[in-house]
Amino acid sequence: MKSMMLRQLMGVSLVGVMAVMAGCVGKGETRYLDVRTPTAAAPSPEQEPVKIVIEPFEDRRDDKTRVGQRTHLWGGTTLFNVAGERPGEVIAQALADRLKNRGWRGRPWKVQVGRSMDVPDADIIISGQVSEFSATAKSRVFSTVINASNKFSIQARNVGDTSTTIRSVEGAQRTTVFWFAEEDVQELLAATLKDGIDRFIADTMVADRALRPAH
């Protein structure tokens, strides 16, 4: 009796082992793998692009002579400014560049920086006001603390129905470096600006030929 039960158990075990081994053997079958990643639906090529013009932002900062300064460890300062000394133009161009790289889904568009009067067929006119755009660095023993901040408003006027969408953008970042370089200030200020622009894009959408709040 015990011998029969032992043989049965051995038989069941053998079948199990053979089944497992069979799973490790190729049978010439084809298995299809889906390696696609989710992407936004491509806009229909027959759609006419929405035309967007971005006007240079109005500079409403209290101090327009610079965007910030570095205070050195042993005294003295170094001033910071943007090329052309016009942050409003810099922010407008940064917004245009970001829209070219990212922008909204579901509709093609063309964007340029300039005066709205020079683009009579524009669908959306974007303007803005800058109240803060600054970067400071304070050096101390073995480190330099860098702060960057910005605050501005963006207004989009839809030419078709004369409606407007207004968004306020505000942000700040801080970092500490051991070896200071001016590029550290530049990168932090650029990152702070990019984050603000990305929030504006996330909060809005293009519907028909107009810019609307996303929520």
* CATH number of residue 160's parent domain: 3.40.50
Place of tokens 């755009």: 133
d(CA 80, CA 67): 6
- Is there a domain that residue 101 lies in? yes
Burial 11-44 (b: 16+ CB within 10 A, else e): eeeeeeeeeeeeeeeeeeeeeeeeeeeeeeeeee
Q: Is pLDDT larger for residue 32 or for residue 113? A: 113
- Is there a domain that residue 139 lies in? yes
Q: Which two tokens stand for residue 58?
A: 């109005």
- What mean pLDDT is predicted for residues 137-166? 95
158 is in which domain, residue-wise? Answer: 50-213
Q: Which of 132, 125, 134 is nearest to 169 (CA)?
A: 132
- Is there a domain that residue 57 lies in? yes
**Per-residue pLDDT, 106:** 67
- Is there a domain that residue 42 lies in? no
- Tell me what percent of the chain is helix, strand and coil, each rounded to the nearest 5: 30, 35, 35
pLDDT, one tens digit per residue, over 121-142 is 999 999 999 999 999 999 999 9
- Is there a domain that residue 198 lies in? yes
- Is there a domain that residue 173 lies in? yes
- Is there a domain that residue 17 lies in? no
Cβ atoms of residues 95 and 197 within 8 Å: yes
Query: Between 182-202 and 87-101, two packed helices, what is the crossing angle to 10 degrees?
Result: 60
- Is there a domain that residue 62 lies in? yes
What total number of domains does the chain contain? 1
pLDDT, one tens digit per residue, over 158-174 is 999 999 999 999 999 99
pLDDT band of residue 153 (cuts 50, 70, 90) is very high
Query: Which helix H or strand E contains 117, and what residues bound it?
Result: none
- 107 has pLDDT over 90: no
**Per-residue pLDDT, 8:** 43
d(CA 70, CA 50): 43
pLDDT, one tens digit per residue, over 37-56 is 233 343 444 568 899 999 99
